[in-house]
A and B are shown apart, each in its own frame.
Chain A
Amino acid sequence: MPISEKRLLTPKFSHIYIEETVLEHPVSSSIIRHFPDSNIITIRHYKDVFNRRKQNFHLQKRSPKLILATAKPPFLYRGAEVCENFGHGSFHCTSSILNCLFDCEYCYLPGRYTSANLVIFVNIEDILSHVQHLLRISSLYLCVSYDTDLLALDRLTSFLARWLEFAAVNPDLLLEIRTKSGNTASILTRPPLDNCILAWTLSPDQVIKKYEKKTPSLDTRLRTISKLMEHGWKIRLCFDPILRTPSWKKDYINCIHYTLSMLPARSIRDVSLGCFRMGKDYLKRARIIRPDSDLLWYPFKLENGVYTYPECTRREMLNTVSREISRFLPREKIYCMGDFT
Chain B
Amino acid sequence: MILVTVAMQCEAKPFIRHLGLKKVHDINVFPVYANERWKLIVSGVGKIRSAAAATFLLTRDLGNSHGFVLNAGVCGSGDTKTPAGTPILINKITDHDTGRSYFPDMVWAHPFAEGSLETWSRVLKVIGSSHQIDHLVDMEASGFFEAASRFLTPDRIAVIKVISDHFDSSRVTAGEVSMLIERCLPPVAGWVESISGSTFGKRPVFRRSEEQYMLKVSNNLRLTCTMVLELKSLARYHKLSGGNLEDLLAPYISMEPVSRKEGKIRFAHIRKKVVNP
Contact = CB atoms under 8 A, between A and B. Distances in A.
Nearest to A301: B275
Interface string A2-17: 1001011110001101
Interface stretch (A75-83, A153-161, A291-299): A291-299
B109 A59 contact: no
A294 B274 CA distance: 12
A63 B200 CA distance: 12
Nearest to A43: B101
Interface in A43-98: 43-44, 48-49, 52-56, 58-60, 62-63, 65
Contacts of A65: 106
A39 B237 CA distance: 42
Contacts of B152: 54
A15 B154 contact: no
A5 B202 CA distance: 12
Contacts of A291: 202, 205, 236
A41 interface: yes
Contacts of B59: none
A63 B149 contact: no
Which of B234, B240, B271 has the most C-beta atoms of chain A within 10 angstroms of its own C-beta?
B240
A309 B200 CA distance: 31
A237 B139 CA distance: 58
B92 interface: yes
A18 to B, nearest CB: 12
Contacts of B205: 291-292
Contacts of A17: 103
B109 A8 contact: yes
Secondary structure of the A side of the interface? loop
A15 B155 contact: no
B91 A15 contact: yes
Contacts of A246: 241
B212 interface: no
Given A5-B200, A39-B91, A55-B154, A49 B103 contact: yes
B149 A54 contact: yes
Which of B108, B156, B236 has the most C-beta atoms of chain A within 10 angstroms of its own C-beta?
B236
A56 B105 contact: yes
Contacts of B233: 297, 299
Contacts of B108: 8-10
Interface string A193-228: 000000000000000000000000000000000000
B236 to A, nearest CB: 5
Interface string B51-91: 00000000000000000000000000000000000000001
B225 interface: no
A63 B198 CA distance: 14
B226 interface: no
Interface string B185-202: 000000000110010111
Contact of B109 (A9, A43, A54): A9
A69 B155 CA distance: 22
B153 interface: yes
Nearest to B116: A41
B101 A297 contact: no
Nearest to A62: B200
B109 A10 contact: yes
Nearest to A7: B109
Contacts of A44: 101
A39 B112 CA distance: 13
17 contacts: A5-B198, A5-B200, A5-B201, A7-B109, A8-B109, A9-B109, A52-B103, A56-B105, A56-B153, A59-B155, A60-B107, A62-B200, A291-B202, A291-B205, A292-B203, A299-B233, A299-B234
Interface of B: 91-92, 101, 103, 105-110, 114, 116, 149, 152-156, 194-195, 198, 200-203, 205, 233-234, 236-237, 240-241, 271, 274-275
Q: Which 4 A-B pairs have the closest CB atoms?
A: A294-B240, A63-B107, A56-B153, A297-B237
Given A56-B156, A292-B202, A297-B240, 15 more contacts: A1-B200, A1-B201, A7-B109, A8-B109, A8-B195, A9-B107, A14-B106, A41-B103, A54-B153, A60-B155, A62-B200, A291-B202, A298-B237, A299-B234, A299-B271
